[in-house]
A = this chain, B = another copy of it.
Amino acid sequence: MEALALASGSASGECIDLRRERESATIASEDFAVWWAGGRHELEERRALESYFFNDPEFDDAVHPSCMSYKQRYEHALTKGTKFLAKLREWQRTRRAEQPTGKNEQEQEGAEGSVNIKLLYDYRMLLSGPVGTALFQQSFPLRLHFSMFLPTLLSQGNAEQQRRWVGRAWRLDGIVGTYAQTELGHGSYIRGLETRADYDVEREQFVLNTPTLSAYKWWPGGLGQTANMVVVLAQLYIRGKHHGLQQFLVRIRDEQTHEPLPGIDVGDIGPKLGANGVNNGFLGFRNVRIPRDQMLMKNAQVLADGRFVQAAQPLLVYGTMVFVRVIIVRDVMFGLLQAATIATRYSAVRRQSPIEPNAPEPQILDHVTQQAKILPQIARGICYRLAADVLWAIYQRVMQQLESAGPNGSGGRELPELHALSCCLKAVCTEGAAEGIDVLRKACGGHGYMSSANFDSIQGLASAAFTYEGEHTVLLLQTARFLLRQHVDALKRKVLPASVTYLRNASPLSWGDNLLENVARALEISASAQLREAWLWQQQQRQRGGHTNQQANNLSGRRLTAAATLHGHAYLARNSIKQLAQLARNVPPALYELLQQLVELFVLDTFLRQLGAVLKWNRISSKQLQQLEQRYEQLLGALRPNAVALVDGFDFHDRVLGSTLGCWDGRVYERLMAEARRNPLNQEAVNPSYHTHLQPLFRCKL
């Protein structure tokens, strides 16, 4: 029996509901898209790259990955990943040939010595940006080679090591690598890592060992079946003396046969909540020997005779950690807005539950409760982007200053603030994005629960980001440590870094005419007061409770993380207001008005989500709260007509969304059904298990 036509859809193209939404919007999606992409050129470049890949049938999946076994999924991701890399290099070569010769050519060529961090960062954005997402909704095994292995060689290898390895690695010339730090037994507390490297002075070799089960490396992407080289973080011992954690470059599989080398125990760690294309692996060593020159020696050296030479403060490592966290804020913002686009379009197509009796069922986006689920998430994603942009600008400035002036220049002074801000925003934004994606999924009801809606992959990546590269609570506690120092400095009336100057403002909330200012200030006061309270509690535990500093820290843990969280929210709110002021000059008036509404919605939403903390530390009358609630609902109503045009402006290609519910044309039911029909389970009218099990059960008549 063939599929039936959808009653409410037109024969082809977008469905009527979405067409109507687009026609009645007050903004032009294309204006938004240009702004969002960072300019017309950037937008066109991205679209060209997307067409280049998405028009190639080699990258279509015959079967949805969610229907595959875990093993098939790996093989699929590896196969497609190799095609992707080859085609991407082809693209870059073609583009270079089309462009006039310039300074960038050498960089892009990737000849020895010309591969640099900037190139790798750009490449990372390609691999995990729209095209990478579209092709690999749960990532793929070759990504870590570029995002972790190569950057580590660059930042930790000395000149000779870079000459020897970087060019080959860039060209995947017999080398595919990953980075192995976390172990089964240790994650956040890296000093506790157990893998050890003993220097054998006689043979000028390091001997790597995994002394316990809990010392097994666990998690590195691509480690399972893919990587043949690994940078390993291990405890260095020379003649029994411990010299801290060092990084070692270890070949784990034969370059020709790909067989694990003697003493190497390697495999895949198994299925996860998401990111099932990554081939995360485990790795154990038994007396694995590597030559002395495979310890990465930019920051510390072991000389042939076993002398250990420590380098200066490894500032660039610190910088890389910050960088990765900025990237993560972007990643989760991207996921949140994928989800928001899907849910918005679905809510404009789905009709359910009449508002007026006897009237036709409305689009569910007309229910105020639905608007309250969706529109704040769009606003949140946009304001996270505004914060990520600023963080990135600070990062670049600080790194530049460090390079030119060294650690004692102003860059060095700004580093602790940058570090704290990146910890805090990583923690607060991954939480906000994961929560938002969950709200959006649930806003799509049962259909949001289908894998073909793609919320599972999106949520899976956001959930992972909550934990990796700095566990959530650990990062908040690091932020709090920085804030406590600032609090003490504020008491001493010292000058404070820009992101925390509010700590010096001791005046209570005065509710004026500017609602946004009231709200932002209330959040700052709450952060400030919560910090003071945590600090007092900590003091009290020490002084009156007789606890050590460390015990007092532990006993204050809830209060400290609460302060750090509030600081993050206050920063995000204040930054959004500041960035908005900049935007007035840069975008068309209709778009500016929309962005104003979005920033306001974000700030009010942040306030309402933190209402407990806000009311704990501020006097706000119920009339003022009423005013705020009403404004919130007004904003929902004001944004409603532009909702579809707005998410169109993110310019996600349908392949990037990867969702039966979120496509541009809104043909939700056709896609749900088409995806169901191509499931391998549905290719047989009668499943063999009927004859082997169900029919016999019928016959035995329980």
- Picked from B79, B258, B468, B550, the residue with its CB within 8 Å of the CB of A695 is B258
What residue of chain B has the Cβ atom nearest to residue A366's Cβ? Answer: B554
What 0/1 pattern do residues 581 to 606 of A give for CB contact below 8 A with B? 00000000000000000000000000
Check A528 for interface membership: any CB of B closer than 8 A: no
Q: Which of A355, A612, A613, A625 has the most CB of B within 10 A?
A: A612
- Among B174, B187, B472, B682, contact of A267 (Cβ-Cβ < 8 Å): B682
Whether the pair A558, B372 counts as a contact (CB closer than 8 A) is yes
CA gap between A474 and B1 in the complex, in Å: 35
* Cα-based distance from A212 to B6 in the complex (angstroms): 6
Q: Count of chain A residues with Cβ under 8 Å from any Cβ of B?
A: 155
**B67 and A673 form a contact (CB under 8 A):** no
Give the distance in Å from the alpha carbon of A666 to the alpha carbon of B176 in the complex. 36
> Given A369-B561, A472-B442, is A213 in contact with B7 using a C-beta cutoff of 8 Å?
yes
Residues of chain B with a CB closer than 8 A to A170's CB? 702
Chain B CB within 8 A of A66 CB: yes
Task: Kindly state the separation between the CA atoms of A701 and B110 in the bound complex, as whole angstroms.
Answer: 11
A 379-418 contacts with B by CB, 8 A: none
Interface stretch, picked from A129-137, A219-227, A302-310, is: A219-227
Contacts of A653 in B (CB 8 A): none
What is the CB-to-nearest-CB distance from A26 to chain B, in angstroms, rounded to a whole number? 22
Among the stretches A44-52, A100-108, A444-452, A569-577, the one at the interface with B is A444-452
Q: Does A312 contact B (CB under 8 A)?
A: no
Residue-wise interface mask of A (433-470) relative to B, using a CB-CB cutoff of 8 A (1 in contact, 0 not): 00000100010011011111001100000011011100
Contact B697 A172 (CB under 8 A): yes
Kindly state whether residue A296 has any CB partner on chain B within 8 Å. Answer: no
Given contact pairs A4-B212, A449-B464, A687-B78, A189 touches B66 in the complex (Cβ within 8 A) = no
- Provide the bound-state CA to CA distance between A351 and B258, in Å: 36
From A236-244, A268-276, A491-499, give the one contacting chain B.
A268-276
- How far apart are A126's CB and chain B's nearest CB, in angstroms? 14
Distance, CA A692 to CA B83, complexed state (A): 11
B86, B273, B464: the one within 8 Å of A456 (CB) = B273
**Closest partner residue, chain B, to A226 (CB atom):** B694
Which residues of chain B are within 8 angstroms of A558 by Cβ–Cβ distance? 368-369, 372, 633
Q: Is the Cβ of B173 less than 8 Å from the Cβ of A676?
A: no
CB < 8 Å neighbour of A442 from B184, B466, B672: B466
* Contact B616–A446 (Cβ < 8 Å): no
Contact B268 A673 (CB under 8 A): no
Q: Is A39 an interface residue (CB 8 A)?
A: no
The answer to whether B369 and A473 touch across the interface, beta carbons within 8 angstroms, is: yes
The count of identical subunits is 2
Chain B residues contacting A269 (CB-CB under 8 Å) are 450, 672, 676
Interface locus among A69-77, A339-347, A482-490: A69-77
**Cβ contacts under 8 Å, A687 to chain B:** 74-75, 78, 225
* A192 interfacial by beta-carbon distance below 8 Å: yes
| CB of A630, distance to nearest CB on chain B (Å) | 9
Q: Which one of A186, A611, A698, A701 has the highest number of Cβ atoms from chain B below 10 Å of its Cβ?
A: A698
Q: How distant is the Cα of A676 from the Cα of B361 in the complex, in angstroms?
A: 50
Min CB distance A598 to B, Å, is 19
Q: In the assembled complex, how far is the CB of residue A291 from the closest CB belonging to chain B, in whole angstroms?
A: 22
Report Cα–Cα, A255/B477, bound state, in Å.
Answer: 64
Q: Is the CB of B74 within 8 A of A66?
A: no
The answer to whether A554 touches B368, judged by C-beta atoms less than 8 angstroms apart, is yes
The CA-CA distance from A351 to B69 in the complex, in Å, is 34
Bound Cα distance from A610 to B352, whole angstroms: 30
The verdict on A85 contacting chain B, using a C-beta distance below 8 Å, is: yes
With a cutoff of 8 Å between Cβ atoms, the chain B residues found around residue A694 in the complex are 78, 82, 176, 226, 258
Contact flag A67-B69 (CB < 8 Å), given A7-B214, A557-B369, A686-B259: yes
A69-B72, A173-B698, A188-B353 provided; 5 other pairs, C-beta below 8 A?
A4-B213, A67-B271, A187-B446, A224-B682, A268-B681
Pairs across A and B, CB under 8 Å, 11 listed = A74-B689, A75-B688, A86-B702, A192-B361, A225-B687, A270-B451, A368-B554, A372-B558, A438-B438, A445-B471, A612-B615
